[in-house]
Structure 1
């Protein structure tokens, strides 16, 4: 239903307006409903050079050029006021038809022509306030286009990627690498994601939701890429956010569409081959000492975090493999070993009964996968066009993707699976999916807990750190200078 409303508002009604406005300029009305050709006619009617048509082929630039062309087009019909320009650009489905059917609205000439400017120089003259308003609006539009199509800033909010990325790292995220995703919720407050600052209200209107579309990118998502994406579980109540307004998360891609992924003793395997473990990634270790205290400077230098005492001589900590090797060289350290969960045993501390899998009997059987954070799968990551056989073991794993992310009505009646009211025992996926994990393997809620990331949730690729701030440090040491402009690998 939303797609039908979006089509009527964003395509049909503006084309109706162009049809009538073209007729007022002595052009055949049908020219207004032919994509691309109608832009050519708008250029002619506005008096702009034909090479503007070439600019419409450049992603990002074409949006700014089209806004400028539309403003020129409106001036050619005597719409000189700033409010009229905002109305025509922001709400073309209302005001283009309105002006098209308005008897007082007439075509008065090509607005970009010198003769036109001379004739209407009084109406076109801008006050200082108007010049400031134009500059601010242009800056907001340009910045929004840059954030949407090219690059966006992001800050690390949690420890799930430590020590590869630290809390307080400020990143630039590229939209170009994987192709920019066009806005799916177009009516939104500029620079606010999903919530208005201070007001704590929605920063968008979900009355119009557009279909998913992504511009061509430089590459596909590769295993090992650090990726920013929208958190899939925000689709659920009470938030029920649209795809592009769900919370931004950052993790490392471990599996791509069609891969078979498993985790065995904390080692990730893809299609039976061990994946490279991030060198700065952390996990939990058990440290045995001679009973003496650990030097506080050593704790800081080795980034030992999340201490947990077991007894007077033993504690657990999250740190990197490199730090562990250094730690073993100290005389008061008697032993260090990974604190990994037992295979085939969902113990109460490290258990993973994924939250995307319904915790009730499916098809008369409650699956017991016995997965935990260090032993998981094997599981096949859905790929567009892949058909999965649905049974008591596979249906719980894939039902969320089928229902929530691909928009089907899914029911279980007895032992029968109904998709959109039709009994079936298989399903062919419409989207590609990814498996994301944090580098801090024992301190990250990721795809092991909440499942696959659909391709329409992908925001972009993390490029480099442009600023890093340690809120726990003193004033003079807040900036981590050594991390500035580090490429993210």
Structure 2
């Protein structure tokens, strides 16, 4: 029996990639992988302002989990990878808003809870809102929903809660809430003499202070009493009270009934300030409210700009739809109330309102690096005690 051999297919020699091609392939793969991780799993952020002190410090680098609450799909797909609003080191926009897609949120494994430290897109960069808040946040610019500036605050009230601040203390549904461990407030420190600011304040981690020599008001300082106005934690306040040249330390709170300018909402119907705010109901999906004068002041902007209503207008104290005044309204998504832990130095929901759920980016998980922007020496530039600190 004869066997006929099958001719083998001639082997083709694969052309070897050039060094530049291999480098380019590696870069493309790295960019795609980094973009997917940044969008789907976690993102890295740095703290630029002191609004969350003393929980988070300027120069803290942190990881934010997008998995906790579920990541959102892009609204603005025409964007340079690994950028946010502008091309690195320039003011050139890194995106085109020619195409806008509907947003969807992928399933997460938890909901936002009171006390969570949350990163979100700043709502008032909405094209119809940013001009109104330029006195509070002077660098506002309009951006698409998914490309608005990233802010980080603590969620103090969730959808359906009734929030009130009394004398600086947050109450939710009538119950006083536990203050963050490192929450920072403003105090008057009365001293018998001028102090060495480096040894007394900076050495104890107090960086926000100013000398006080005039009568502030009768409840804080008496005539000719001198001292300092500081922002610090309650723990450090107790430490200051033990110093022999400190006569007393008193918290500074704005009196109830004293109206503070630039607060949300901008209305003459309410006399609120940062220390005495509310009560206010946080909008919840499915909840219906009557459209009276107060509710229009509180929720009109939310209904018009963030709840998917492009055909509404606020005119003469009324919300109009196709020229007809609404008598009631049912919210289409949940909202949250955010506050900074540095309670007297934070532009937060008290000044610009609620955060819609579709603006939520993720939960701040831990600090992976911390660099002091103004260290006493180069050796102390890295805050070693903050590396891999879990965010509480």
Q: TM-score, normalised by structure 2?
A: 0.87
Within 5 Å, give how 1:201-212 maps onto structure 2: 201-212=92-103
Q: Larger deviation: 256-265 or 471-480?
A: 471-480
Q: Which has the larger radius of gyration?
A: 1
Partner of 1:308: 210
1:154-207 residue CA offsets vs partner (Å, 9 max, x unmatched): 000000000100000000110111111121111111111101123311111111
How far apart in 1 are the matches of 2:46 and 2:183? 18
Do the aligned partners of 1:290 and 1:332 also contact (CA within 8 Å) in 2?
Answer: yes
Query: 1:251: which partner in 2?
Result: 153
SS at match of 1:160: helix
Matched with 2:379 is 476
Matched, 1:486 2:389: yes
1:266 is aligned to 168
Q: Which position in structure 1 is the counterpart of 2:42?
A: 151
Corresponding residue for residue 339 of structure 1: 252
How much does 1:212 deviate?
A: 1.5
Where 2:201 maps in the other structure, the secondary structure is helix
2:111 to 220, 237, 252: 220
- The one-character-per-residue Cα deviations of 1:16-45 (angstroms, maximum 9, x if unpaired) are xxxxxxxxxxxxxxxxxxxxxxxxxxxxxx
The partner residue of 2:302 within 401, 421, 424 is 401
Secondary structure in structure 1 of the residue aligned to 2:26: helix
CA contact (8 A) 1:437 1:448 kept: yes
CA contact (8 A) 1:367 1:393 kept: no
C-alpha displacement of 1:123: 8.5
Q: CA deviation at 1:425?
A: 1.3
Within the candidate set 185, 188, 201, 2:79 is matched to: 188
Contact 2:194 / 2:227 at 8 angstroms: preserved in 1?
A: no
Taking the TM superposition and a 5 Å limit, the aligned residue runs for 1:367-382 are 367-382=268-283
TM-score of the pair, normalised by structure 1: 0.70
Q: Which runs of no fewer than 5 residues in structure 1 stay unpaired? A: 1-117, 360-365
Pairwise CA distance, 1:415: 5.7
Secondary structure of residue in 1 paired with 2:51 = coil
SS at match of 1:181: coil
Which residue does 1:83 correspond to in 2? none
For the 8 Å contact 1:352–1:373, the answer to whether it is kept is: no
Q: Unaligned stretches of 5+ in structure 2?
A: 1-8, 132-140, 214-224
Task: Kindly indicate whether structure 1 or structure 2 has the higher relative contact order, using CA contacts under 8 Å at least 6 residues apart.
Answer: 2
Query: 2:123, 2:168 → 1: CA distance?
Result: 24
Does residue 330 of the first structure (1) align with residue 243 of the second (2)? yes
1:427 is aligned to 329
Structure 1 residues 129 and 296, CA gap change in structure 2 (3 angstroms): closer
* Count of residue correspondences: 360
More strand per residue: 2
